[in-house]
């Protein structure tokens, strides 16, 4: 798993999203076909991590304007969900984004 953090640039968003006031950071997940050829598996991983990140950041307003990109590596498909969430938390701690 790889985490990248960048200052957000609202000019990169679609017009209708530029007007929305951001209350916290934006998170994006990249899960390629190399992780799993099955869309069902990729969507399951995406839902798991989106829910985890949402719960982690929903009450934080100190990250407004930050964009996070989380990329899964091919071996993520074989990992247990708890291992993925622990690795995600570890990356967030190393980036200084923990609670």
Domains and CATH numbers, the chain: 2-94 (3.30.230.10)
Residues 11-64 have pLDDT tens digits of 888 887 777 777 778 888 999 999 999 999 999 999 999 999 988 888 777 777
Give the pLDDT score at 99: 56
Give the pLDDT score at 47: 94
Give the pLDDT score at 40: 93
Q: For the chain, what is the mean pLDDT?
A: 86
Cα–Cα distance between 65 and 23 in angstroms, integer?
Answer: 8
**Which stretches within the chain are classed as H helix?**
15-18, 39-57, 81-94
Cα–Cα distance between 48 and 83 in angstroms, integer?
Answer: 12
């Amino acid at each position: 798993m790889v985490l990248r953090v960048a200052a957000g640039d609202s000019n990169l968003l679609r017009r209708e999203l530029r007007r929305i006031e951001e209350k916290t950071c934006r998170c994006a997940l990249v899960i390629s076909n190399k992780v799993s050829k099955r869309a069902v598996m990729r969507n399951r991983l995406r839902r798991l991590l989106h829910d985890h990140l949402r719960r982690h950041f929903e009450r934080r307003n100190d990250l407004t304007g930050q964009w996070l990109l989380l990329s899964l590596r091919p071996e993520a498909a074989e990992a247990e969900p708890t291992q993925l969430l622990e690795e995600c938390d570890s990356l967030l701690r190393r980036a200084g984004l923990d609670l």
